[in-house]
Chain A
Amino acid sequence: GNSVTQMEGPVTLSEEAFLTINCTYTATGYPSLFWYVQYPGEGLQLLLKATKADDKGSNKGFEATYRKETTSFHLEKGSVQVSDSAVYFCALSSNTGKLIFGQGTTLQVKP
């Protein structure tokens, strides 16, 4: 069945460091891929998405490229800020409409 695997956290970085959070998936067909972000005490917000191979999603300085050959959708940001501290979820959506999440990666950015 479909599944999503994320790197375990927490990830602790200093402000302005480069961020990578790895995400790989297993799916039949051609799923859409997403990154969601959850700030403390809040719900999930869509950060970015990609709907087909080689698409790059981007938002607020974050980027992720849909790599079909490596079944990956790694999240990157060139220079993180303290305000980026949150839990990040990778997810895929199959053609049945269900969204399958990874376990989440906590990012802590220190000043």
Chain B
Amino acid sequence: NAGVTQTPKFRVLKTGQSMTLLCAQDMNHEYMYWYRQDPGMGLRLIHYSVGEGTTAKGEVPDGYNVSRLKKQNFLLGLESAAPSQTSVYFCASSRMDRDGNTIYFGEGSWLTVV
């Protein structure tokens, strides 16, 4: 009963380093999302994907890249990490059905850039 799984859960990076966060979902969902959560700002959408091979920018895409090569995976990359990217990152997935679009979240990845 995995749902949405994110790795790694915790990571400390030095400024300028690169890394990739991996998100995997086993619900055969079409839509996948990456959000960041910062104190007092709720969740902000970084990038999202409406299907395999497609990606789109959200509210705060700068400094991030994404790829959706397989339907079940959605990768978030930081090419050159900055302290402003210290945050908690949440992946999510969803499928549009007759009840609308219900989104399921992973447990989060805590990233610190020093």
Contact = CB atoms under 8 A, between A and B. Distances in A.
Q: Do A and B come from one complex?
A: yes
Q: For A43, A89, A100, A102, which residue has the most chain B Cβ atoms within 10 angstroms?
A: A43
Contact of A43 (B41, B96, B105): B105
Contacts of A89: 42-43
Given A32-B100, A44-B90, A102 B42 contact: yes
Q: Is the interface of A mostly helix, strand, loop or mixed?
A: strand
The secondary-structure label for the interface of chain B is strand
A27 B7 CA distance: 34
Contact of B42 (A43, A49, A103): A103
A108 to B, nearest CB: 16
A36 B94 CA distance: 14
Given A32-B101, A43-B105, A49-B102, A97 B40 contact: no
B41 A51 contact: no
Interface of B: 31, 33, 35, 40-45, 48, 50, 58, 90, 92, 94, 96, 99-108
Closest 10 CB pairs of A and B: A32-B100, A103-B42, A43-B107, A51-B100, A44-B105, A93-B101, A101-B43, A43-B105, A101-B42, A97-B31
Interface of A: 32, 34, 36, 42-46, 49, 51, 89, 93, 97-104
